[in-house]
């Protein structure tokens, strides 16, 4: 079930971006998340290991960034390498919706990195606007 959790590097970037959610797993090392239950006792300094769906919901609810998959079949490639998911990252820039398309074997991880970069860019742009005023 560890494939349901975002990898350690993404969990670390998400924490830096202010991600919070119900705690289901934590990273005690950089390899595999540890599942926790109501009786687990941790110091609270462990790195939260969120589920992919928790991260997707957070982007949508908190930052209005939407990540969704699209099944894609490459008609020029031979099976079984001709079918994969590509991911779309939709976000609002000003009054216009923008879309980034991710086509990669680890597309969801790349889409989450892209969404975090979008947050970084918006945060930087807001900071520059405040300094100019």
Q: pLDDT digits over 95-125, tens only?
A: 889 899 888 778 899 999 999 999 988 776 6
Tokens of residue 130, six digits: 């405040």
Strand ranges (DSSP E) for the chain? 25-27, 33-35, 47-48, 66-73, 83-93, 96-103
Which residue bears the tokens 């979008």?
A: 118
3-state secondary structure of 116: helix
3 conformational bin, left if phi > 0, alpha if psi -120 to 50, beta if neither: alpha
Q: What are the tens digits of pLDDT across the range 38-95?
A: 556 666 677 888 999 999 999 999 999 999 988 777 677 666 666 677 889 999 887 8
Whether cis (ω within 30° of 0) applies to the bond prior to 80 is yes
Mean pLDDT of 120-132: 68
Going through 74-127 in order, the beta strands assigned E by DSSP cover 83-93, 96-103
Q: Is the pLDDT of residue 16 over 70?
A: yes
Reduced to 3 states, what is the DSSP secondary structure of residue 100? Answer: strand
Question: Positive or negative, the Cα torsion across 61, 115, 72, 32?
Answer: negative
Q: What number of helices (H) and strands (E) belong to the chain? A: 3, 6
């Amino acid at each position: 079930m560890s494939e349901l959790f975002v990898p350690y590097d993404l969990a670390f970037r998400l924490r830096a971006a202010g991600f919070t959610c119900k705690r289901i797993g934590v990273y005690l090392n950089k390899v595999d998340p540890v599942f926790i239950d109501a009786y687990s006792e941790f110091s609270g300094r462990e790195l939260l290991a969120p589920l992919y769906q928790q991260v997707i919901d957070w982007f949508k609810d908190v930052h209005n960034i939407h990540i969704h998959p699209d099944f894609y079949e490459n008609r020029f490639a031979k099976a079984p390498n001709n079918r994969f998911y590509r991911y779309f990252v939709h976000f609002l820039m000003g009054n216009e919706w923008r879309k980034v398309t991710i086509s990669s074997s680890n597309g969801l991880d790349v889409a989450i990195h892209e969404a975090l970069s979008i947050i970084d860019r918006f945060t930087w742009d807001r900071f520059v606007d405040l300094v100019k005023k």
